[in-house]
Amino acid sequence: MKAIVFSDSHRDFSSIWRAMEQEKKVDYIIHAGDVQKDVEDIEAYWRTTPCISVLGNNDYAVWDVPTRREFVLENKRFLLTHGHLYGVKGSLAKLKQEATACCADICIFGHTHIPFLEKQNGIWFLNPGSARSHYAIIETQGETVEIQLKDTPD
């Protein structure tokens, strides 16, 4: 399984386009919020690739998308949130508690615009950074998880 992860695209769809062109084939697109309109564009252009998303603090007048999701891909349990409701700009403590409570293997968040990747107590914490300059790739095969932070191509 290969997933591409974006966050905080803020209507810079060209960055998403360039990253998708660079990666070619992905099984899933994950967007950690800010801005839902970009997710709608992703779903329109890459119709056959499932897109999993949450709302961020700059997503207004959207009622049918949650601010937090739990899901399973290839036997790995994910927690996806934008992070603003967990105070991630100050500390990851609340987010770490939530990820532990829901038995996440991988916790994806955004909001800070700063790429972050760390494994703590068996849980991967991933912030792909702002889509204008960064994204992430998650690849799983059996029990193996490989996560890479990448620069968005120019």
pLDDT in tens, 4-62: 999 999 999 999 999 999 998 999 999 999 999 999 999 999 999 999 999 999 999 88
Domains of the chain with bracketed CATH: 2-151 (3.60.21.10)
- For 100, the 3-state DSSP assignment is helix
Mean pLDDT computed over 67-81: 97
Helix and strand counts by DSSP (H, E) for the chain: 3, 10
Q: Decide the pairing of beta strands 144-151 and 134-141.
A: antiparallel
Asked if 25 contacts 130 with a C-beta cutoff of 8 angstroms, the reply is: no
Alpha helices in 9-131 (DSSP H): 13-23, 36-45, 93-101
The predicted pLDDT at position 61 comes to: 87
The predicted pLDDT at position 9 comes to: 96
Asked if 3 contacts 29 with a C-beta cutoff of 8 angstroms, the reply is: yes
Share of the chain above pLDDT 90, in %: 94
Query: Is the whole-model pTM more than 0.85?
Result: yes
Q: Look at residue 96 and tell me whether its pLDDT is greater than 90.
A: yes
The predicted pLDDT at position 52 comes to: 98
Which amino acid, one-letter code, is at 58?
A: N
Residue 98 binned pLDDT confidence (cut-offs 50, 70, 90)? very high
Q: Which residues of 70-100 are buried (b: 16+ CB within 10 A; e: fewer)?
A: eeebbebbbbbbbbbbbebeeebeebbebbe
Asked if 9 contacts 35 with a C-beta cutoff of 8 angstroms, the reply is: yes
The Cα 81–Cα 87 span in angstroms is: 11
Which residue is listed with tokens 């799983």?
140
On average, the pLDDT of the chain sits at 96
